[in-house]
Every structure is written in structure tokens, then in C-alpha cells.
């Protein structure tokens, strides 16, 4: 399946190459403008710029002209989206919050004040991050930061964002396809990793809010148990699909009864981890630190629950690692 995905990406790059060779830098600028408005383009714009630099630009003057065209397209698209969010979006947000008008005004003003102290730097950095580029235009528009500050922050970011892949493609044109393939893989990993990092950040903030040690233990244990349960379920689904593909291609695969036995064990472990997480969540809400139980009973209960939690995670890990080692084709 990995080979099929790589072949599909190669076909996409070949189609983009043909399009660029036929229409030149103008079609790329149009794609950049559309992408900044949130219109799907079918390929990461950084990859399109790499290919443009490698196949459509043949001299330094062309590089300068192409860079100007792409920077203007990128800046025009993000400014347009920012203005839309700044006008219609801000009015829509006000309508949604009109039931809590006074409180909502205080919140928005507080965030505008925080943002306004370093808005240019935040816009510049945010516009360089692939996943949050478009959301930076929307968020700053809703917060209605000074328009001049947004343009000052977005303009140099557009220059760096467009100039780097365009220049790399121009100066390393023989290796542009390999670079584009590697970039696509890295971007996919970033897309997967970003939600994980956000979830970790939220969990750390949630745990840090709790003042008592016992409450922090509950929150850490419930968060890790929930994450482990989700991981086990995803792994079980992927294992079933990979085993089916291995059978279709005549590779070494698990027999049906054996496969479903292991999957049933994994699902059972995931359910047990979810029960542990649910118990800790309930404990946090009930504030059991007011319990009249003795300290000895409380310590014994926490020790047994933590041992059970660690045991479930260990067993699930051993099962998944064992399946990977004994059946690498799945």
C-alpha cells in the first residue's frame, strides 16, 4: 500500500510538472492565491514551488520575476482572507456571542490586547508554519488586529515561504523530484504529529491546573489510559486491514481464528483502559480528596489502580510488538 501511495504522489507531481511547463509561473501564482483562500489545489504549494523552480525557471531574472509573482499572489490571498474574517467573520462572531455580550467583549478585548503587543512577530512566525498559515489569517481577522501590522508581518513571511522552495528547486533542479518526495513525507508526518502535540499540550495544562498531588495522578493516569486505548484500537483496525492485504498478495499472514483472537484481546485491553480512564475522570469530578477513608486505604487503592493501569499498558505493548516481530507483513 505504501508503494501505491508513492506511485500516486509521483503521478500527481508529473501532472503538476506538465501543467507548469505548459502555462508557466502564472498558473502557479494562481494556485497559490487559490490555496490561500482555502480552495483545494490537489498538491502542497511548497511542492509546486519546488517543481516550478526546477523545471520552469532557467535564469536568475526569471527567478526574480517568478518570486515577485508568487509573493504577490500569496500576500494577496492571505490579505483577502484576513479582510473577509475581519469584516463578515467578526460580525458573525459578535452575533454568536450576543447572549453573553458583556463577557464576550471582555474576552475579545483581552485577547486583542495580548495579541497586539507582539502581533507582527506572531503573524510572521505563524505564516511560516504550513498547518496554521491559513488559520493565522482567519484568527487575526476575527481578533481585528491592526491591518497594517498584519501586512507588515505577512509580507516578509510570504517572501521566505515562497522564496525558499522556489530557490531550492532552481539551484538543485536535478534532485527536485527527490526533494519534493521527501518534503511530502515530512509534511504528512507533521499533519499527523500536530494534533498529537496539541493534545499533549492540553493534557499538560489540564494536569498543571490541579493543585493536589492525588488529583494530578488521576489526571495523568486517565489521560495516558485514554491515549493508550485509542492507540490500541487504531492498531487493531490497521492490523486487520494489513492482514487482509497480505492474504490477497499471497504473503505470510495470520489465519482468521488466530487474528480474531489477538484482535479480541486487544479490544478487551482497550476497553479495560477506557474503564480506568473513566474511573479517574469520575474521581476528579467527585473530588475524592474529601473522602473519610483512612490514608492507608487510600494509598492501597491508588497502588492497586496504578498497578492495574501499568499492567494493561504493558500487556497491550507486548502484544503489539509481538505481532510486529512475528508477522512483519501485517
pTM above 0.75, yes or no: no
Length of the chain (residues): 330
CA-CA distance, 128 to 149, in Å (whole number)?
16
Residue whose grid cell is 493534557: 203
Q: How confident is the model at residue 288 (pLDDT cuts 50, 70, 90)?
A: very low
The rounded mean pLDDT for the chain is 77
- DSSP code string of 112-164: HHHHHTSHHHHHHHHTTSTTTHHHHHHHHHHHT--HHHHHHHHHHHHHHHHHH
Task: Say if residue 247's pLDDT is above 70.
Answer: yes
Q: Is 28 helix (H, G, I), strand (E, B) or coil?
A: helix
* Tens digits of residue pLDDT in 189-201: 555 666 777 778 8
- Is 203 a domain residue? no
Number of structural domains (the chain) is: 2
The radius of gyration computed from the CA coordinates of the chain, to the nearest angstrom, equals: 26
Q: Which pLDDT does position 15 carry in this prediction?
A: 66
Q: Which pLDDT does position 125 carry in this prediction?
A: 84
- Is 136 a domain residue? yes
Task: Looking at the structure, tell me whether residues 228 and 285 fall in a common domain.
Answer: yes
Task: Say if residue 71's pLDDT is above 90.
Answer: yes
Task: Looking at the structure, tell me whether residues 162 and 39 fall in a common domain.
Answer: yes
**Which domain range does residue 42 map to?**
2-183
Task: Looking at the structure, tell me whether residues 7 and 156 fall in a common domain.
Answer: yes
> Rounded to whole angstroms, what are the CA distances from 251 to 219, 238, 242, 320?
43, 16, 11, 19
Task: Looking at the structure, tell me whether residues 176 and 225 fall in a common domain.
Answer: no
Amino acid at each position: 500500500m505504501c508503494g501505491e501511495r508513492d506511485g500516486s504522489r509521483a503521478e500527481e507531481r508529473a501532472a503538476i510538472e506538465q501543467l507548469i511547463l505548459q502555462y508557466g509561473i502564472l498558473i502557479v501564482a494562481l494556485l497559490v492565491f487559490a490555496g490561500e483562500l482555502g480552495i483545494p489545489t490537489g498538491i502542497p504549494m511548497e511542492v509546486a514551488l519546488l517543481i516550478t523552480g526546477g523545471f520552469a525557471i532557467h535564469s536568475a531574472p526569471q527567478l526574480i520575476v517568478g518570486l515577485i509573482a508568487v509573493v504577490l499572489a500569496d500576500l494577496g490571498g492571505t490579505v483577502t482572507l484576513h479582510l473577509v474574517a475581519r469584516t463578515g467573520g467578526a460580525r458573525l462572531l459578535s452575533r454568536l456571542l450576543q447572549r453573553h455580550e458583556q463577557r464576550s467583549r471582555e474576552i475579545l478585548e483581552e485577547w486583542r490586547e495580548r495579541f497586539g503587543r507582539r502581533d507582527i512577530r506572531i503573524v510572521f512566525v505563524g505564516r511560516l508554519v504550513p498547518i496554521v498559515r491559513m488559520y493565522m489569517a482567519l484568527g487575526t481577522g476575527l481578533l481585528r488586529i491592526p491591518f497594517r501590522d498584519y501586512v507588515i508581518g505577512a509580507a516578509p513571511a510570504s517572501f521566505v515561504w515562497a522564496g525558499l522552495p522556489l530557490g531550492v528547486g532552481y539551484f538543485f533542479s536535478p534532485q527536485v523530484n527527490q526533494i519534493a518526495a521527501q518534503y511530502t513525507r515530512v509534511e504528512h508526518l507533521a499533519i499527523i504529529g500536530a494534533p498529537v502535540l496539541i493534545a499533549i499540550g492540553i493534557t499538560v495544562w489540564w494536569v498543571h491546573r490541579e493543585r493536589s498531588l492525588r488529583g494530578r495522578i488521576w489526571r495523568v493516569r486517565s489521560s495516558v489510559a485514554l491515549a493508550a486505548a485509542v492507540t490500541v484500537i487504531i492498531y487493531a483496525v490497521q492490523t486487520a486491514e494489513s492482514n487482509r492485504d497480505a492474504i490477497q498478495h499471497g504473503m505470510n499472514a495470520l489465519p482468521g481464528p488466530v487474528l480474531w483472537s489477538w484482535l479480541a484481546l486487544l479490544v478487551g485491553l482497550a476497553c479495560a483502559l477506557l474503564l480506568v480512564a473513566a474511573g479517574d475522570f469520575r474521581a476528579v469530578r467527585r473530588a475524592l480528596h474529601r473522602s473519610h477513608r483512612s490514608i492507608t486505604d487510600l494509598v492501597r487503592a491508588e497502588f492497586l489502580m496504578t498497578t492495574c493501569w501499568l499492567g494493561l499498558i504493558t500487556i497491550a505493548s507486548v502484544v503489539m510488538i509481538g505481532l510486529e516481530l512475528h508477522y512483519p507483513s501485517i
